[in-house]
Amino acid sequence: MPTPKNYHWRIAGFYFFYYAFVGMFAPYWSLYLKSIHFDAIEIAILMSIQPVMRMLAPSLWGWLADHTRKRLLVVQIAAALSALSYLGVFATTSFWGMFLVLGLMGFFWSASMPLVEATTLTYLGKHSSRYGRIRSWGSIGFIISVVGLGYAFDYIAIAWLLWAGVVCELGILVFSRQIPPTEVLAHHTDHQPIRQIALQPRVLALFGACFLMSVAHGPYYTFYSIYLVEHGYAKSAVGGLWALGVICEIGVFFMMPWLVRRFGYTRILLASFSAAIARFMLIGWGVDFLSLLFIAQVLHAATFGAYHAASMGLVHEFFQGRHQSKGQALFGSLTYGAGGMLGGLASGPVWQHYGASALYSCSAGAALLGLLLVLWKLRYSGNAVDYAN
């Protein structure tokens, strides 16, 4: 019988392949869509399908996991159906065909992560600040995917991207069967309806701020690669810039236990939103200067790495006991899902009619609104030292 420490690699493997898929999809799928002659509006719509599914699907899957009390079985079924649905990308190059395939695949693909996040935090228990060290393997998978493909696409056709997706989907499927079972401990909030917890002012503020952070990142995930290529950067350089951000993200994940002890979750969020304002202004107005893009990507350590770990820590605080899966699913749906959808869909018209500088200035504005929400209602949440012990 393996000790609990032996389970780290099982969870880490799932994160690795899940985010390797993101490293394949986020930077390069828009380039693939452009290669098969979709315009900016069509690309924005197709790239927004994943956030739409992250908005709609997780709550359903989270309810199913809590209702059946078979969280890992739900993860495994979703991973299998996601891999099967993904194969449809080989069968179509039409807009509506691609829309259907990506929608179906996204419905199943987006189901897994909130449930795995809940499992990981349950597994870690009182050591939840160590979450970043396991999650960092997702960042490593992202880097290998984004850098490897970036260099490859300087020499091979972008259509080979489809096969990279197959490898990632199979990895997700294999490791979905390796995740260890965890026991959900009873909590004094178990008798409360989840609505009562979700409508607390501090929870609403967290969800609202994180929704705005996802809106801010929508144009980044939709058009950043196209933006760089149109300004003369090689695909290998595009991959390198994406990877730089994630390398910095890994560093901050490993620093999170110390950062949480020293500053608390809320101060980390305040720093993250402030960094996002600066980052998107640098991207929007400094694209011709590699040094400024370099600084902008270093700030990814704060705008995603520290931000994600701190927000996960707060969600784990707010939703405990039998509400863990539903709380993570609700958070994912309303923030990464709805926020990413709005940011992605709005980016197409703004990009087409007003240009990239205006688009990324809007991203900075959304981050500023998120910062104000955190200052308003979350100033005293998540600062206790024992969260990091």
Domains and CATH numbers, the chain: 8-184+191-388 (1.20.1250.20)
Taking residues 26-41, what's their average pLDDT?
87
For the record, the structure tokens of 121 come out as: 């935090």
- Write the CB contacts of 1 (distance below 8 Å, at least 6 apart in sequence): none
Closest CA to 312 of 75, 15, 6: 15
Q: What is the pLDDT of residues 176-206, one digit of tens each?
A: 988 877 665 555 455 567 788 888 999 999 9
Q: Report the C-alpha gap between 356 and 235 in whole angstroms.
A: 19
Per the listing, tokens 């999809």 go with 25
User: What's the average model confidence in pLDDT over 338-358?
Assistant: 90
Q: Percent of the chain, pLDDT > 90?
A: 46
First to last CA, the chain: 27
Residue pair 242/27 in contact (Cβ under 8 Å)? The answer is yes
Distance CA 9, CA 137 (A): 9
The two tokens of residue 367 are: 């981050």
SS3 content of the chain, % helix, strand, coil (to 5): 85, 0, 15
| Backbone angles phi and psi of 287, in degrees to 5 | -65, -25
Compute the distance between CA of residue 8 and CA of residue 133 in angstroms, rounded to an integer.
Answer: 10
In this structure, what DSSP letter does residue 304 have?
I
Inter-CA distances, 88 with 100, 105, 162, Å: 9, 9, 10
Report the pLDDT averaged over residues 366-373. Answer: 96
The confidence score (pLDDT) of residue 293 equals 96
Q: Residue 383 has what pLDDT?
A: 46
If you average pLDDT over residues 287-308, what whole number do you get? 95
Residue 345, token pair as written in the block: 């869909």
Helix axes of 8-35 and 235-285: crossing angle, nearest 10 degrees: 80
Mean pLDDT of 121-147: 80
20-29, 97-106, 244-253, 375-384: segment of lowest average pLDDT: 375-384
User: Between 7 and 369, where is the model more confident?
Assistant: 369
Q: Is the four-CA dihedral 289, 292, 296, 301 of positive or negative sign? A: positive
Q: Stretch 33-47: mean pLDDT, rounded? A: 88
Q: Would you state the pLDDT for residue 316? A: 82
Q: pLDDT averaged over the chain?
A: 86
Helix (H) or strand (E) holding 2: none
pLDDT in the model for residue 382: 47
pTM: 0.77
More confident residue, 384 or 74: 74
* Structure tokens, 335: 């923030």
Q: How confident is the model at residue 182, as a pLDDT?
A: 65
pLDDT at 2: 41
Maximum separation of any 2 CA atoms in the chain, in Å: 61
Q: What are the φ and ψ backbone dihedral angles of 333, each rounded to 5 degrees?
A: -65, -45
Both structure tokens of 329: 């699913």
pLDDT at 282: 97
Q: Give per-residue pLDDT as tens, 206-227.
A: 999 999 999 999 999 888 988 9
Rounded to 5 degrees, what angle do the CA atoms 235, 237, 241 make? 115
Could you report the per-residue pLDDT of 265-294, keeping only the tens digit for each?
Answer: 999 999 999 999 999 999 999 999 999 999
Q: Are 378 and 269 in contact (CB under 8 A)?
A: yes
